[in-house]
Structure 1
Amino acid sequence: MKKETDHEPEDEWRSEYDFSQLQGGVRGKYAERYQAGTNLVLLDPDVAQAFPTAKAVNEALRLLIQIAERQKA
């Protein structure tokens, strides 16, 4: 008697997915960047409007860090 887990898995991909047309993929293309680590933060729309670039966000946070360090002293 066979158990349900003894059967071969069925192909669940849809017929419209033609993987033979996929070309140019590079395995591990972003592996080095991933290992370096990232800190992705999603800003609320109102904050993103005030700080539209990563540079603007970083400058504001650095200023906040300086203010906080002065308050400690």
Structure 2
Amino acid sequence: MFEPLRREKDKKIKEQGIEDLNIIALKSSKSHLEDSSEEESEDEEMTYLFKIFTRFMKSEMEKSKHELKKKR
């Protein structure tokens, strides 16, 4: 199924003179505890932003409803 794509990739690699593009990058961390606390703070930030965005969208929807009623 992916064989034609694989062949094209291999052909481009050979043309460019690149031997291996299968490089894996790993995230480094100081400790597991620091990572989990960072993830929790990121989750809290995302939750907060989502709440603000949801409130904003609700207010915009209400404004548009009122504007439609005024036009009619």
* Pair in the same fold by TM > 0.5: no
More helix by share: 2
**TM-score under structure 1 normalisation?**
0.31
After TM superposition, the score normalised by the length of structure 2 is 0.31
Q: Which has the higher contact order (CA 8 A, sep 6+)?
A: 2
